[in-house]
Structure 1
Amino acid sequence: MTHQLVPFSQFVLKVHSRCDLACDHCYVYEHADTSWRGRPRAITGVVLDRVAERIAEHATEHRLPAVHVVLHGGEPLLAGPRVLRRAAERLRAALPAGCALDLRIHTNGVRLDRAFCELFDELDIKVGISLDGDAAANDRHRRFADGRSSHAQVLAAVELLRRPEFRHLYAGLLCTIDVENDPVAVYEALRALEPPRIDFLLPHATWDQPPKRPAELGEHPYAKWLLTIHRRWEQQGRPVPVRTFDSVYRTLRGRASLTEALGLDPADLVVIETDGTFEQADSLKTAYDGAPATGFDVFANSLDEVARHPGMMARQSGLAGLTATCRACPVVRSCGGGLYAHRWRTGAGFDNPSVFCGDLMRLITTIRDRIAPARPAACAVPDPVSPDPGAPAAGPGPEQLAQLARGHGDAATVAALAAGQLDLTRRLLAAVGPAVGESWQALAELDATAPAAVDAVLAHPYVRGWAVGRLRAEAGEPQAEPDTLAEIAAAALIRARLAAELPVPVRGGAIQLPTLGRVLVGGSGQAVVRSGADGFTVRTAGGVERVIGFDQPADRSWLPVRRLGLLGGWSVALEDTDPQRDRHRWPAEARLTEAELGDWTGALREAWELLLRELPQYAAGIGAGLTTLTPLRPGPPGRELGGADRQAFGAVAIARPRTAPALARLLVHGFQLVKLGGVLDFHDLYDRADRRGYRAPWQEEPRPLADLFQEAYAELAVTEFWGSRARAYHGVGGEAAEHARAQFGRRRGETEQALDALLGSGSLTALGERFAVGLRESLEPCLAMPLGAPAVPADRSVGDAAAAPADRAVPADHHAPADSPAPADHSAPAGR
């Protein structure tokens, strides 16, 4: 069979062959290959010129739209500014018109200073830094030859890149895994530096020189190390792209990997040494002396000749190039046999599974089982409310459902709910998107190249509501929904920081970018959004252009979504820009002033700290799943308003109450409705054919069984809230103590009555009965708790003169038939 030549688009250019650190895990100096000893320290101008010519020749021959060059070493900064300038200028000047240059430098950072950053700013060179975590983790390997720590100097380099003037140069952090380092400490140390991307690398090893596997860490320590970080990362809402995890997600969906270490995509990378010789991937230096050599150089050989080298072709042969063991493996399309160098064994060559085979298997299968892979963009959705019963299972597993059945749910459980919701949103968009045309095609293409950016926008609570509205409008229901798909695609494009543009509608004198904010441009019609690495521009039909940087503060025309970072890592958006947010029972608040934002921030911090302290069994789930808080306009004096929209998983709407405890109560009540809604999207808890009315303790008129179930679920949390308040006042008199005991006594009695009504309905499914029983078990400690002195009756007759009926809600049925759509809101009623 004739081998199809795969042109190179990625080039690692060695500009210096020595290093100022003595890292003991370095594949260049500490492994089998010794070729570095005979190479010139720095690349010469003659070699640089010839490299530029060869790359340009290759780009012209294969009509490449872009080439990616990484200036590397050794330590590339040792080459000095003159050599780096010449490299950048010659590479850029030589490329043919229409071929872009993505130029980066990868450094250990110890020599990075302002002068280098100013040079890289001028030459448009992005900077990646090697850093293995906190000081203890980094200094385990990355030290100077005399044993001194490099950590402080590397941190100084990163801090320089984080400054606004150089932030656009910051390409990310690369960390080599050592399983004896604390994975969470490593991850959090890296995340705290706000990198655009983190890349975790398995240490280079072969079957001849296997990686260390400390006995006390058990089997598959590298998988366990990564999976510990993965769980934390998912719980935090994927705050930073992680190349390994993103590549697993992509390959599980059948898409291309982002790294040569995973997937079956042909390798398109070549290394050019300081003397101009072509080599295969640097990682091969760990196999045997001379392993990466090709025998070719820039003076005598073209890149097409290099691409036909047997070693290059072996790395480009996909499934056919793997050992029989790998070809039969169920995760081969994600694993890809692992990194080519890690397959080496003397006597068998590279015809082996990876030395990390067991770790890769466990990593991929665990991630696959933790989250439901997003469906391909072409699938259809038969019903906008109830997903296809034959679809693959999504959402929480049995143990997590058991947590939810007791009214609670830890961070991982809520993250599983969120993963199921994201899958459902993708399916809903697939049902409406193809009819939209250009913007759907743009979103589908973007999903193939930057799925994490697309996921970040599709996880916005109000995207699903728009999709459901579109489906109902197409079914002839009187609900007009605008074409928001262009705005969704534009927001994802901006998040991906790709250089491209999309037309977007101008409505009400503004363009809306879900999850990002609102740009006031005036007029109507269309505008063009163009994204880039540093921000984006908006160009109106009249030719007016508005430039917006990622770090730019709000002004009169740019209204960014404002996020609050709270104790314990919870980050929540105060959504006051998206028109789609105005779908609750009460009108949404307008854009918050700075003073109002300050009031919200202070109240929310106090409320959150109260929940962490007094209701940790609910706070964990809120921190993992409540991504958006939509301010509502104030209600009548003395009234508190709050609720959760049926089609907006992850959002709660609240009119800011007078006190932080009241806000805490509204948060926990609203998010209970959100959680149960996530369950009801995939599981029946009651018979939908039951049309009887049930008397709820807090309602005058009989209510559907669905309302009773959802409100009982939320009321358990409110009861536990008041229980914590009553415990704090145990044995104490005074108005506040009396009020807390009165509320607790009443709420626990009402919740008990509601659960008894549920269990006596005869209309619960087996799972629904387990939920009702679980809620009753969680209520038992509240029922057994003495109210304290002075005593307060525990029945409905106890008044609530001091409390507004803020945390009551009118829930909505998740399983209303298609011809009788579910109400849009479960929100607190106007009166009681």
Structure 2
Amino acid sequence: MDRPAPALSQVVLKTHSRCDLACDHCYVYEHADTSWRGRPRAVSQEILAASAARIADHARIHRLPTVHVVLHGGEPLLAGPVLLRRAAEELRRALAGISALDLRIHTNGVRLDEEFCELFRELGIRVGLSLDGDRASNDRHRRYADGRSSHAKVLDAVALLRRPRYRELFAGLLCTIDIENDPLAVYDALVALDPPRIDFLLPHATWDTPPPRPAGQATPYADWLDAVYRRWDAAGRPVPVRTFESVHRTLRGASSLTESLGLAPADLVVIETDGTYEQADSLKTSYDGAPATGLNVFEHSLDDVLRHPGVLARQKGIEALCAQCTACPVVESCGGGLYAHRYRTANGFDNPSVFCPDLLALITRIRTHEEVRTKTKAPTHEHTRPHEATAHAAVGEAAEMAEHPLEPGDFDELAAGFGGAATVRRLALAQLDLNRDLLAAVGGRVRPADGRATAAWELLVDLDAGAPQALDAALAHPYFRPWALGVLGADARGAPAAGLAELAASAALRARRADAVTVPLREGTLRLPGIGRALLPGDAEEAEVTAESYGFTVRSGGRRLRMGWGEGLDGRTAYWQPVRLVEADGWTVALEDTDPLRDRYEWPVADRLPAPGARAWAQGIAAAWSLIQRQLPAYAPGISAGLRVVTPLAPRLGGDTSATCRDAFGAIAAARPSGPDLLALLIVHEFQHVKLSAVLDVCDLYDPDDRGRYYAPWRDDPRPLGGLLQGTYAHLAVTDFWRVRRSAAEGPAARDRAQEEFARWRRQTTDAVDTLARSASLTASGKRFVAAMGETAAVWQAEQVPARALTGARDAARRHRDAWRARNAPRG
């Protein structure tokens, strides 16, 4: 993957340096660092202005699509509404036209009231709260100085954020672990509050001041978290848990969502109330003065901070870890743990985490649990036979065997036009089951005389037994199913030997297994689906791929090519073209321009992007994702859980272009639009198609024998019932996008356009829902699905729109329908 040049995209801006609680586990006031004593209580307006200017300069130089700022303390609400408004306005003014601003505040919640919530709603500030569980658990540490409980006040804050008016402000709950607390009581109390996210934090400790460990318990923190994990998993993972999601992501090679796990370089800086730059607050637990840099916002830039030795040390990834860590089997997931937790007076940070046994145990248990959870029947010949049906009938037959059908609540959530992370994950699991069954069907087509295909099949069976997660990751590549359907439908490009060998090689590399896999080449190209491609010299017909400790080896045409896991970036190795990963806030998506089988769309796909083009795409995706998170939060969790691939299309004249492939779950294709707002629209629009296609794989919504053709307000040609359903479902999101943009777009002209677009698509989507509802070909489930779509559209009818926009919408609808009738009138 291409790694961008180091930059500081996360800023913790201290607005107040004191707190109204006296939590005895607080790293700011109760641990080694005492610098808070000499700092001003509140940040000054001069420091706010200077900080905003430094952040904007850094964002401009590094072309950051989004800057993430957390207003922090102490307790930031002590700064008061006036100062917090000033902070937000300074940041927005400085970053206007440079980067999107993701602005949050982290508070203990005891002062949160409607005045603050109205302010945060106006300024787009999301709110994270600290809460350690039920009252008994929370009051063990989070009390006032006189010993009073803070629990009731925090619950009042949560209730306020759960109101419909303020719900979009709620960022989540942070809980510090105390192993004396009952883990299930803590978890149940937090989940009952319906937060959008939970984050469990290990208590800060070092080798000098180790965490409590009861006698006889080797891994008490892993045991505590494991109990929560099992309860969370058994309940269907009802809420995202950052710790567990980070382990899942790092185990499959993606980025962590927290600095306490993974190998991603540090990208955070703290600005204190006196204007000094500091490293991460967690370092305050190490020794007095540990986070200090000696730099300040008046005299130094954020690039100066990047050059500080302490910051540089955290840019080196695995190279910065001690020998014990680099030899650990879970190092890519653990990353050595939180940097501060490695400290020991004798040798600084050159140690594993003081929680090392717990991290190793927790990650290993989660990995084992996931392997057992996701493992279905192995694709052996004993339970397979060749399918005589057509390719899509094979999908239908496989769907009947899917082990992860939608739950009633999932169905209603999706039918309304949305779908949260847990729901989309269940869709993805159902898709994975279908892919496994299709793989079994392909295996049934392998002839014993086909030595290449037989060898690949046997390796896949072995991988399924020994590394099922790696096989699942390979099977989840969106272009596996189109290939499998090609085999079952006699597509010459889908010959079993090549595709099975490519799949086996991809899974073996993901598992870091040293199997030597012989892979047929496609016109000199070695295809490793989801990983990348090698353009091999000469006229060789096959290559041998072998994973090794440092990376992998490719032998072909008498040449031996070696590739390290971190190598192959643009400009270094011409023959190797890895899939580039775009890592946004809570979402990792592949920019797939390498797979020879990705051309499954109405429009031609782009060739391999040059490095500047890839960077432009990555910046656009990150900016679009930030917009979706801030302005369309109901869609963001589902997208982050289910959209894994964006395939660039060749640029086209005459408008923005995007598409999906019915059988490529998790992927969309698009030509890069002119701005992040349009890319955000394309993403939410096309992901609607992805979701609905997955629903149709497990649930019949209409009679496929319906031969009628229907008017669709967004098309010039008559559409079949299924096409009308797909288009209407996608245009629910289009309507919602323009609904939000009426107030979120920058400038009067853009807001006026949004009013017109909202009025137009609200009207035409509602008309299309009515057309669907009148169809006699909907199944009972289809009627329920369309009714829920109609309920969503009906809510928008009550929203006020200027008369001019309503007139324009009416005229546009009439013109389109008149032109459609003229174009599609029967010819006599």
**Structure 2 length-normalised TM:** 0.55
* 1:345 is the counterpart of 2:525: no
The count of corresponding residues between Structure 1 and Structure 2 is 521
| Counterpart for residue 459 of structure 2 | 390
Question: 1:74 & 1:101 partners in 2: Cα distance?
Answer: 23
Contact 2:271 2:278 in 1 (8 A): yes
Contact 1:280 1:294 in 2 (8 A): yes
| Counterpart for residue 336 of structure 1 | 335
| Counterpart for residue 136 of structure 2 | 136
Question: 1:173 & 1:429 partners in 2: Cα distance?
Answer: 37
* 1:430 Cα offset (Å): 3.1
* 1:54 is the counterpart of 2:54: yes
After superposition, give the CA deviation of every residue in 1:456-501 in whole Å (9 maximum; x if it has no partner): 5599xxxxxxxxxxxxxxxxxxxxxx9436886589xxxxx99822
- The residue type paired with residue 282 of structure 1 is D
Contact 1:22 1:143 in 2 (8 A): yes
Contact 2:735 2:761 in 1 (8 A): no
Question: 1:448 & 1:385 partners in 2: Cα distance?
Answer: 38
* 1:587 Cα offset (Å): 7.6
| Counterpart for residue 430 of structure 1 | 480
* 1:267 Cα offset (Å): 0.3
Question: 2:712 & 2:760 partners in 1: Cα distance?
Answer: 15
* 1:310 is the counterpart of 2:488: no
* 1:590 is the counterpart of 2:589: no
Range 305-314 or range 538-547, more displaced: 538-547
Contact 1:9 1:268 in 2 (8 A): yes
Unaligned 5+ segments in structure 2 are 376-427, 444-456, 483-596, 607-616, 630-635, 645-659, 670-676, 702-709, 716-726, 743-750, 789-828
| Counterpart for residue 673 of structure 1 | none
Within 5 Å, which residues of 2 pair with 1:694-709?
none
| Counterpart for residue 563 of structure 1 | none
After superposition, give the CA deviation of every residue in 1:371-408 in whole Å (9 maximum; x if it has no partner): 1399999x99883636755337799999xxxxxxxxxx
- The residue type paired with residue 192 of structure 2 is A
| Counterpart for residue 272 of structure 1 | 271
Contact 1:27 1:283 in 2 (8 A): yes
Question: 1:498 & 1:341 partners in 2: Cα distance?
Answer: 41
Question: 1:92 & 1:503 partners in 2: Cα distance?
Answer: 25
Question: 2:105 & 2:185 partners in 1: Cα distance?
Answer: 27
After superposition, give the CA deviation of every residue in 1:229-253 in whole Å (9 maximum; x if it has no partner): 1112222222111111111111111
* 1:502 is the counterpart of 2:552: no
Question: 2:239 & 2:126 partners in 1: Cα distance?
Answer: 18
**Could you say if the C-alpha distance between residues 327 and 558 of structure 1 is closer, same or farther in structure 2, counting changes exceeding 3 Å?**
farther
Question: 1:421 & 1:370 partners in 2: Cα distance?
Answer: 16
**Could you say if the C-alpha distance between residues 161 and 181 of structure 1 is closer, same or farther in structure 2, counting changes exceeding 3 Å?**
same
Within 5 Å, which residues of 2 pair with 1:673-688?
none
* 1:484 is the counterpart of 2:553: no
* 1:523 is the counterpart of 2:710: no
- The residue type paired with residue 178 of structure 1 is D
After superposition, give the CA deviation of every residue in 1:335-375 in whole Å (9 maximum; x if it has no partner): 10000000000111000000000111011111111113999
* 1:439 Cα offset (Å): 12
* 1:95 Cα offset (Å): 1.4
Question: 1:508 & 1:320 partners in 2: Cα distance?
Answer: 42
- The residue type paired with residue 339 of structure 2 is Y
Contact 1:425 1:458 in 2 (8 A): no
Contact 1:17 1:73 in 2 (8 A): yes
Range 69-78 or range 219-228, more displaced: 219-228
Question: 1:160 & 1:187 partners in 2: Cα distance?
Answer: 21
* 1:506 Cα offset (Å): 10
- The residue type paired with residue 333 of structure 2 is S
After superposition, give the CA deviation of every residue in 1:572-630 in whole Å (9 maximum; x if it has no partner): xxxx99x9x99xxx9856327999xxxxxxxxxxxxxxxxxxxxxxxxxxxxxxxxxxx
- The residue type paired with residue 102 of structure 1 is D
**Could you say if the C-alpha distance between residues 137 and 542 of structure 1 is closer, same or farther in structure 2, counting changes exceeding 3 Å?**
closer
Question: 2:604 & 2:201 partners in 1: Cα distance?
Answer: 36
* 1:295 Cα offset (Å): 0.5
- The residue type paired with residue 523 of structure 1 is P
Question: 1:534 & 1:189 partners in 2: Cα distance?
Answer: 37
Secondary structure, aligned partner of 1:222: helix
| Counterpart for residue 163 of structure 2 | 163
Contact 1:500 1:530 in 2 (8 A): no
- The residue type paired with residue 236 of structure 1 is A
| Counterpart for residue 88 of structure 2 | 88
**Could you say if the C-alpha distance between residues 537 and 545 of structure 1 is closer, same or farther in structure 2, counting changes exceeding 3 Å?**
same
Question: 2:232 & 2:737 partners in 1: Cα distance?
Answer: 24
After superposition, give the CA deviation of every residue in 1:499-526 in whole Å (9 maximum; x if it has no partner): 82227889999994867999x9943546
Contact 1:537 1:548 in 2 (8 A): no
| Counterpart for residue 30 of structure 1 | 30
Within 5 Å, which residues of 2 pair with 1:601-680?
none
Within 5 Å, which residues of 2 pair with 1:187-206?
187-206=187-206
Secondary structure, aligned partner of 1:591: helix
Contact 1:47 1:275 in 2 (8 A): yes
| Counterpart for residue 754 of structure 1 | none
* 1:536 Cα offset (Å): 7.5
Question: 2:689 & 2:668 partners in 1: Cα distance?
Answer: 17
- The residue type paired with residue 391 of structure 1 is L
Secondary structure, aligned partner of 2:681: strand
- The residue type paired with residue 221 of structure 1 is P
Question: 1:199 & 1:507 partners in 2: Cα distance?
Answer: 27
**Could you say if the C-alpha distance between residues 365 and 34 of structure 1 is closer, same or farther in structure 2, counting changes exceeding 3 Å?**
same
**Could you say if the C-alpha distance between residues 504 and 245 of structure 1 is closer, same or farther in structure 2, counting changes exceeding 3 Å?**
closer
| Counterpart for residue 7 of structure 1 | 7
After superposition, give the CA deviation of every residue in 1:741-775 in whole Å (9 maximum; x if it has no partner): xxxxxxxxxxxxxxxxxxxxxxxxxxxxxxxxxxx
Within 5 Å, which residues of 2 pair with 1:459-470?
none
Contact 1:341 1:350 in 2 (8 A): yes
Kindly, what percent of the aligned residue pairs are identical? 55
Question: 1:524 & 1:589 partners in 2: Cα distance?
Answer: 22
Secondary structure, aligned partner of 2:341: helix
* 1:293 is the counterpart of 2:287: no
**Could you say if the C-alpha distance between residues 352 and 100 of structure 1 is closer, same or farther in structure 2, counting changes exceeding 3 Å?**
same
| Counterpart for residue 116 of structure 1 | 116
Within 5 Å, which residues of 2 pair with 1:521-560?
522-525=712-715, 529=733, 544-545=757-758
Question: 2:250 & 2:179 partners in 1: Cα distance?
Answer: 25
Secondary structure, aligned partner of 2:239: coil
**Could you say if the C-alpha distance between residues 384 and 509 of structure 1 is closer, same or farther in structure 2, counting changes exceeding 3 Å?**
closer
The structure where helix makes up a greater share of residues is 2
Question: 2:598 & 2:757 partners in 1: Cα distance?
Answer: 31
Secondary structure, aligned partner of 2:79: helix
Contact 2:739 2:755 in 1 (8 A): no
Contact 1:306 1:312 in 2 (8 A): yes
Over alpha carbons, which structure has the higher Rg? 1
Question: 1:499 & 1:144 partners in 2: Cα distance?
Answer: 48
Secondary structure, aligned partner of 1:501: helix
Unaligned 5+ segments in structure 1 are 399-415, 460-481, 492-496, 560-575, 596-832
* 1:317 Cα offset (Å): 1.1
| Counterpart for residue 362 of structure 2 | 363
- The residue type paired with residue 184 of structure 1 is L
Question: 2:41 & 2:102 partners in 1: Cα distance?
Answer: 25
Within 5 Å, which residues of 2 pair with 1:760-779?
none
Contact 1:250 1:256 in 2 (8 A): yes
Contact 1:500 1:532 in 2 (8 A): no
After superposition, give the CA deviation of every residue in 1:237-283 in whole Å (9 maximum; x if it has no partner): 22111111111111111111111111111000000000000000000
Question: 1:266 & 1:38 partners in 2: Cα distance?
Answer: 31
* 1:180 is the counterpart of 2:180: yes
Contact 1:510 1:521 in 2 (8 A): no
Q: Give the root-mean-square deviation of aligned CA atoms.
A: 5.0
Question: 1:367 & 1:533 partners in 2: Cα distance?
Answer: 38
* 1:122 Cα offset (Å): 0.6
